[in-house]
Amino acid sequence: MTHEPAADPTVSTAFRSGLDVVRSVEPRIADAIGAEIEDQRASLKLIASENYASPAVLLAMGNWLSDKYAEGTVGRRFYAGCRNVDTVESIAAEHARELFGAQHAYVQPHSGIDANLVAFWAVLAQRVESPALERAGARQVNDLSEEDWATLRRELGNQRMLGMSLDAGGHLTHGFRPNISGKMFEQRSYGTDPETGLVDYDAVRAAAREFRPLILIAGYSAYPRLINFRIMREIADEVGATLMVDMAHFAGLVAGKVLTGDLDPVPHAQIVTTTTHKSLRGPRGGMVLCDDSLADQVDRGCPMVLGGPLPHVMAAKAVALAEARQPAFQGYAQRVVDNARALAEGLLRRGARLVTGGTDNHLALIDVSGYGLTGRQAEGALLDAGIVTNRNAVPRDPNGAWYTSGIRVGTPALTTRGLDTAGMDEVAELIDTVLSRTTPGTAKNGKASKATYRLEEGVADQVSKRAADLLAKHPLYPGIDLS
């Protein structure tokens, strides 16, 4: 499913008129918005966390819903006049519940990190705060004595989380020190098997038995394989942990029924978080799904960690979720995975080295040390040739998190543009051409640099031209003409 409705000339008129209004106040912003669609159209975008939202999703965001304060939940607001926000939020939540088969959906989080914070605090409230209130015979935290409150605060700050290590593909928000989650929780992480690169469930189980976390977290942003959430739940249950799954990256594959049964986190985890703007193809935002036992705690996301919700973004979430419930979205999700496999196979066939030797989802991780490059060099050379990717650490990366040895590539965006498996094979060829004709630059000390590189004369132009030809066959936002 590409964005066919965009070919409707009224869509073009809507965006053009909107920009004219913006231009009348601050022309530089109108110009930047106009330039962005051209940049997006011109780039071969392989960033695994990005996509292209439909015109309907984009238009649902640009309006007066943004003007409304609506702290609280549907029907229970701290502000008057929330009738339409209630409509918007309840429709978005209903679509989310129906689409994912969840008992409860909370659509207020502004981003993935916010959704995770809501989830952490919902679990802490359920497992640590509520029992403490009960012991003290208090109804709410304001009723606790100073002493009981001090004890509870220490207890809340003394909990454990077990999540996937960063270099195996885990996310910063899963208990790593630079993120608030790592300051809130004592964290330990599980990696992947050094031989296969796959999650080793026996190792996860052993770590969970020893560490006894409050929260076992599963989910990733750079792991190219699938996770069995039934086994993860068994492990969590065995050690008394709550299973939280962060499906920020692969929510679109769950929505599109590519990941079902043991691979669908929703029936297995007590709580599931996601972004809405990655493979799910909605507006930039977050969402929490949970079972009934956590619903009340999750609904306290505002004021716990969120301010007022963004009603215009909730409207866009509702539109995106409605789109994802259409049968065509299942075709899209399947093509995302088929395309990722075609890209991985195309790369392997040309001699590239891939972490885990391939992919089962929407992304692949190229170990560019096979080309004698760092991730930083590879990322730069690819960008020079019009190919947009991001560098990413590989497991046990000798070049660390800044230079890295990996390039992450994902197919959600190009699949929205309509590229098919043959197109992805051509993309593989372009990537391999660039990387095999790039050599490291020389650092000041005469050694090979980790940052600078030399791309053979003419390659950038030649590859850019082929990329542009490929993209021209698959126009982005067809019909939107801002000229």
Ligand X SMILES: *Cc1c(COP(=O)(O)O)cnc(C)c1O
The site for ligand X (CB under 6 A) is made up of: 49, 111-113, 116, 171, 173, 219, 221, 246, 248-249, 275, 286
Among the options 167, 246, 367, 432, which is catalytic? 246
Q: Is 172 annotated as a binding residue?
A: yes
Minimum Å gap between C-beta 362 and ligand X is 12
Toward ligand X, which CB reaches closer, 12 or 275? 275
Q: What's the token pair of residue 326?
A: 């259409």
Are the CB atoms for 294 and 114 separated by under 8 Å?
Answer: no
- Tracing tokens 């231009």 back to the chain, one arrives at 23
Minimum Å gap between C-beta 389 and ligand X is 16
State the burial class of residue 21 (Cβ atoms within 10 Å of its Cβ: 0-12, 13-18, 19+): exposed
Q: Is 474 annotated as a binding residue?
A: no
Q: Which long-range contacts (CB under 8 A, 24 or more apart) does 71-79 make?
A: 71/302, 71/303, 71/307, 71/308, 71/309, 72/302, 73/299
Are the CB atoms for 186 and 158 separated by under 8 Å?
Answer: yes
| Kind of pairing between the strands at 271-275 and 286-290 | antiparallel
Minimum Å gap between C-beta 337 and ligand X is 17
Toward ligand X, which CB reaches closer, 248 or 333? 248
How many helices (H) and strands (E) are present in the chain, helices listed first?
A: 20, 16
Backbone angles phi, psi at 442, to 5 degrees: -110, 130
Among the options 275, 356, 359, 374, which is catalytic? 275
Minimum Å gap between C-beta 295 and ligand X is 22
Minimum Å gap between C-beta 109 and ligand X is 9
Q: What's the token pair of residue 405?
A: 């040895």
**Residue 56 to residues 83, 255, 292, 322: CA-CA distances in angstroms?**
22, 19, 32, 11
Q: Spell out the residues 6+ positions from residue 174 whose beta carbon is closer than 8 angstroms to its own.
A: 116, 161, 163, 164, 181, 187, 189, 217, 219, 246
Toward ligand X, which CB reaches closer, 40 or 111? 111
Among the options 8, 71, 148, 338, which is catalytic? 71
Are the CB atoms for 218 and 265 separated by under 8 Å?
Answer: yes
Minimum Å gap between C-beta 309 and ligand X is 15
Asked about 69 being catalytic, the answer comes back as yes
Among the options 97, 284, 353, 454, which is catalytic? 284
Bond preceding residue 303 cis, omega within 30 of 0: yes
Toward ligand X, which CB reaches closer, 176 or 332? 176
316 in helix, strand or coil? helix
Q: How far is the C-alpha of 92 from the C-alpha of 317, rounded, in Å? A: 6
- Report how far Cα 205 is from the mean position of its chain's Cα atoms: 26
Toward ligand X, which CB reaches closer, 112 or 213? 112
Are the CB atoms for 401 and 375 separated by under 8 Å?
Answer: no
Minimum Å gap between C-beta 79 and ligand X is 25
Toward ligand X, which CB reaches closer, 30 or 258? 258
Among the options 278, 335, 391, 437, which is catalytic? 278
Nearest residue to ligand X on Cβ basis: 112
Toward ligand X, which CB reaches closer, 116 or 165? 116
Minimum Å gap between C-beta 219 and ligand X is 5
Q: How far is the C-alpha of 127 from the C-alpha of 241, rounded, in Å? A: 10
Complete DSSP assignment for 186-240: EEEEE-B-TTT-SB-HHHHHHHHHHH--SEEEEE-SS--S---HHHHHHHHHHHT
Asked about 332 being catalytic, the answer comes back as no
Asked about 71 being catalytic, the answer comes back as yes
Asked about 284 being catalytic, the answer comes back as yes
Rg, the chain, Cα only: 23
Q: Which residues are registered as beta bridge partners of 187?
A: 161
Toward ligand X, which CB reaches closer, 49 or 54? 49
Among the options 16, 69, 87, 291, which is catalytic? 69
Question: Active-site residue numbers?
Answer: 69, 71, 246, 275, 278, 284
List the binding residues. Answer: 166, 170-172
List the binding residues for (6S)-5,6,7,8-tetrahydrofolate. Answer: 166, 170-172
